[in-house]
Structure 1
């Protein structure tokens, strides 16, 4: 069960126990049942973008030229320099762990260091940024970047579409979430932000959603909590990550086969 941080104190005084809906409340989707509703009218005004998409101003204190002996612009660097300071926008397949994928990239590219930013469960597919060489120093920056997922949720009982849409909108904004039992982190209640939650399609008991969220959010647990709020139960069936900070599904996205072929072409023909 998850709860709205700024409303828990009020609920604790009017509810018989933590996280349960009192019998005097008429609406089944009240904040006490889902713990994820924003104040009325605030759902539409909540910023429905990832933090990396926000417009940022650049303060230029002084203009100058970079000494070529201390580095080159990205477009003028050799492939070896890119391999020591680069990042791979990798499309992870279902099956291997994120650590295994990063190890394979390291072996394919024959680099000293390679690390992934943001772990994906073995069955989850999608964007897995892999940093190479000295670029691994900025790993912490990407770990904190917002993520976007496409999720297929299965409801355990039929629910009206209007009710599904209303409840999903309640889960926008900061929420309390406790990691699931099958996770590698400490099972402590923590606050995570859902930047947007768009219902793309509803077919019988299956709901297709696009979720933009803060790093460290468990979509599997989010589906479980939505099921509790609907009163029918729900579970996550499929999940794909479509964005991780500045990385997205565009022309830079490659899989391990593309990477292997590119390395072979570089070694055999010198094609960078």
Structure 2
């Protein structure tokens, strides 16, 4: 999702710790206004119930947002046992209640997680997800009482760990591929346990290369700004220093530094034959050798010829 209104041009990524009860779009708009930014977009919506890491891309960083949408994610979640809801989370209407088995053990849950959820699994997304059907998010159709067939999708669960077991709650850590629905995991686990379950809490702690230790809440950020001198330039400088560079969204890609003439060729939309030592069929973060300036994303074809893919305006 991207917003384009008048504002100052700036490029970078802010790692927001989204508050509960706020939509990802509202959180984006709040931060965009605070930065007085010309262009901003978020990368991978979190439900209003969910909290945690929501990367906000400004300016040229939005060109690389797809890489964050496609990135692996990691979550902490608390599942409430014994209660199923219409939306599979705490915001939904209760549809069924059953007693939680009194003899439930950690070993039993860990065995179910290992046998049914670890590795490549098939999920049926919830009708209350943001997945689209003919251009409409499923949750909007569901709220209108419209049911559509939702096809199963295959996702990868790299790690799933039981962190705690209480009388009617369990805490899980899930490291997974894009498109994984934690609500579906919790719902399915509840069915396997015979008592039903829904997501009580969901907190994202990783998106691609970004980790929770790097994020800031809007509340904490506003408190920082209030402690600064009442000087617009001082406030703006502080805000800008918190931004990660646009290339941080693709930090896992190798970098390639180009001499002045080669950089000019690429920025003009021309192709460049590279030395034999450069790997073919590869995406690259491109930088100017002399200045270190980020030029954008390039790729080499099977013959080792480099072309620009997403280049930076200010380069």
TM-score for the superposition, normalised by structure 2 = 0.57
Question: Hey, what's the Cα distance between the residues in 2 that align with 1:262 and 1:131?
Answer: 21
Alignment of 1:145-156 (within 5 A): 145-156=71-82
Unaligned runs of 5+ in 2: 1-7, 83-99, 134-149, 239-315
Structure 1 residue 144: Cα displacement? 0.6
Greater relative contact order, per chain length (Cα 8 Å cut-off, separation 6+): 1
Deviation string for 1:120-156 (max 9, x for gaps)? Answer: 0001111110001111010100001111110111222
Flag structure 1 segments of 5+ consecutive residues without an equivalent.
1-80
CA distance in structure 1 between the aligned counterparts of 2:177 and 2:234, rounded to whole angstroms: 43
Q: Say which SS state the counterpart of residue 10 (structure 2) adopts.
A: helix
Instruction: Please list, as runs of the form range in 1=range in 2, the aligned pairs for 1:250-269 lying within 5 A after superposition.
Output: 250=213, 252-261=214-223, 265=228, 267=232, 269=234
Output the CA distance in 2 between the equivalents of 1:154 and 1:162.
18
RMSD: 2.1
Q: Does 1:183 align with 2:109?
A: no
Match of residue 67 from structure 2: 141
Measured in 2, the distance between the counterparts of 1:197 and 1:86 equals: 32
**How many residues were matched structurally?**
191
Q: Distance in 2 between matches of 1:261 and 1:166?
A: 45
Task: Name the CA shift for 1:262/1:110 in 2 (closer, same or farther; >3 Å).
Answer: farther
Compute the displacement of 1:102 (Å).
0.7
Question: Deviation string for 1:141-178 (max 9, x for gaps)?
Answer: 00011111101112221223321110011210111101
Aligned 1:68-217 pairs, distance under 5 A? 84-156=10-82, 157-158=100-101, 159-170=104-115, 171-185=117-131, 186=133, 187-217=150-180
Deviation readout 1:190-236 (Å, 9 max, x if unpaired): 10111100101111221111000111111111101112222332221
Structure having the higher helix fraction is 1
Runs of 4+ in 1 over 3 A off after TM superposition: 258-266, 268-272
- State the Cα distance separating 1:268 from its structure 2 match: 5.4
Question: 1:77-128: per-residue Cα shift (whole Å, max 9, x none)?
Answer: xxxx9x7221001100011100111111111101111111111000111111
8 Å Cα contact 1:108-1:263 kept in structure 2: no
- Distance between the aligned counterparts of 2:25 and 2:113, measured in 1? 33
1:237 Cα deviation (Å)?
1.1
- The structure whose residues are more often strand, as a share, is 2
8 Å contact 1:109–1:263 — kept in the other structure?
no
Change (3 A) 1:213 1:88: same
